[in-house]
Chains A and B, each alone.
Chain A
Amino acid sequence: MIPTQAPAPDGEPVLEVVGAGKTFAGVHALRDVSLSLRPGEVHALIGENGAGKSTLIKVMTGVHRPDTGTVTLAGRTVAFTTPLEAQAAGISTIYQEVNLIPLMSVARNLFLGREPRRFGVVDTRAMNRQAAQILRGYGVESDVSRPLHTLGLGAQQMVALARAVRIDARVVIMDEPTSSLEPREVETLFSVIRDLRSKGVAVVYVSHRLDELYAICDRVTVMRDGAVVHTGELAGLERLKLISLMLGREMSEVRREGATAFAADGHDRQEDQPILEARDLAVRHKVNGVSLSIRPGEVVGLGGLLGSGRSETAKAVVGAIATEGGTVSVAGTAMTRRSPAAAIRAGVVMLAEDRKAEGIIPSLSVRENIVLAALPRLSRGGIVSTARQDEVVTYFMERLGIKASGPEQRVSDLSGGNQQKVLLARWLCMNPKVLLLDEPTRGIDVGAKAEVQSLVDELAREGLGVLLISSELEELIEGSDRVVVLKDGAVVGHLEGDGVTEQALLAALASSGADGADGDVPGADGDVSGADGDASRAEETR
């Protein structure tokens, strides 16, 4: 089931990308990226959102063609135009999302495109027999004639894996293969990877779970902003160093001033009773028993790397995704029904991460976009009061400084920052008690960013409870009174008061998982307390 071929001599790369560049609509997705894969190595590819990992993978698998640079497979320059060509050449890929056909049988999925045939028709019996045999090697014992969707997600991922590996692969690219796997299945995956390695297959392993990288990978390439910032052996590379590389932060270089528009001092908490309290939230494969509380007038930051379950936690709080467990109470009252509508009624609103897909309605005017959610409150007997609408819209446009020619301008004509403010206005006119902000300043210009940031400050000052999710360290550190750090869907750290520093956050992120292999975080405690001191001094000097 796994191709048998002698491992090529060391040093002779099986797949080599040299100087690859790729531009989408003027934006550099890849800049002079080089990657070299040796036979029989497991190569970690890591980086934050937008670092260019996916584009690089797509260049290697024939989905995209690079604008500049070359791809060399076993010494020959190749120019794949379709995924099919890349597969035929021995590069197979397992995507993060299970890319199989849900209503087809398991065996069918495994053999699609290369079914065993007899007399010109598919030999179903032989196919099922072979499929069962192959999948047993991957720990999947289910009836292979059943439709794929009846399998668990992890088992489906195993079918995808078996499918990818079955081709006479020379390179196997795995894009976050463990995101839907149970721990037992991760072990199976690792043994398959080890098997591949011993057969001389090069494996590219993309994951945000550092524990996994250290467990299985030989070398690592770190990408940031479309460029490679580091390539080298993984063993001996500190976790902290790895994270600083990913995030573009040197441990020594902690900028405190001028980066954001948040006021330096914290917010006065008006009460100590939490306005929002979430307990043991669980979302399948994403969130694992996260608890957090927000008090009125407080900004709570939610920190973590990509895929740590930040957005999912926020969505679970407002009931936008199905939860497996956990409770949410608002101002001491437990929410029995969990849906965005119920959350809004209770005074909890969320500004979604993806403005275009989950928020703005581009063809409507500024006025219409603002009052959309508040319409029931602004109307009597189904008749919308224009006067009250105008009042609300004028107030918020002034208050948030929305730059538009007037309330009737189409929202699609506004800049990203002003669109974000319109969305914020939509939620604020609901008189919320708690505001969940998922990447509120992503993709908006510097000026608007500062305005949104000071607005968040101001709202908290007025007594709103705010949950702030941000991938920008400065924004998170300086905007939050407290930071809850997530990793792999679980809370791994709480930063409070003077402890809200970049060092402390990085240390919490670098902490290893539950397996206790924390030898890679040298003196995390010492570092953090030192940072505490630095930070408090910095506060005093301002």
Chain B
Amino acid sequence: MIARAFKYTRASSVEEALRLLREEGDVKLIAGGQSLLPLMKLRLAMPQRIVDIGRLAALRGVRREGERIVVGALTTHAAVAQNPLLREVVPLLSQAAGEIGDMQVRNRGTIGGSLVHGDGAADLAAAVLALDATLEVTTADGSSSRPAAGFFLGPMLTALPQGAVLTAVSFPEPPDGARQVYRKVAHPASGYAVVGVAALLAMGPDGTVRHARVAVTGAGQAPFRASAAEATLLGRKPTPDLVAEAASHAGDGVEFAGDLYASAEYRRRLTEVHVRRAITDLV
């Protein structure tokens, strides 16, 4: 398991990283290396140069900025799992981060690295979708914000522009009284989600659902929002029958993924069961 020879540069700033991305064609950014290095060792990825942004302190850490919580792209999964502010405000994010891989992976892997890698079974993808996160992206033309919704396009495919650096992920405060959960069925070998369901629910004073987010990872070609399930819940009382009905719509319009371990049909089934159980946990 030895990677093809490559050049290595440790970037001292985001600007330097952007410049290297622009100047050379076959460059990959590396942060924690938990996704890229295995691919390089298997020679499935053979970049000419890797640019290490892993030590850019400005991209690390969790802070509150006004109404939003900002998580630097280099914040490790372990830090996300343990951070008191995140555990209080967006516990489902911490929960999802705590479910990733194993301790070594969580100590090295970063939230930004996981999101831009775009694995269709990444735990954090479901979390950022359910939490209406915004991805802060910097390119040579400047910085911009992109909603998590619409970011995950397909297997290993995201909407991150060529030559861009994801610098942070920010989260709005969830609605008052919102409850959230992440449920995961892990593949027994890889630990990736066969199905991972992130759900967030806020109730109105009349006992009807005021706000609902359900996002699913692992099951489809890319992580997705179960919009039909959300719509079924909105404005109604979440009786067991309604929750079951909502869950039955979780896979509407979704092309499910199948592999040796779990067929597409089984993933559809698991999605329905675990969406129902996740929402039931919250009501």
Do the two chains belong together in a single complex? no
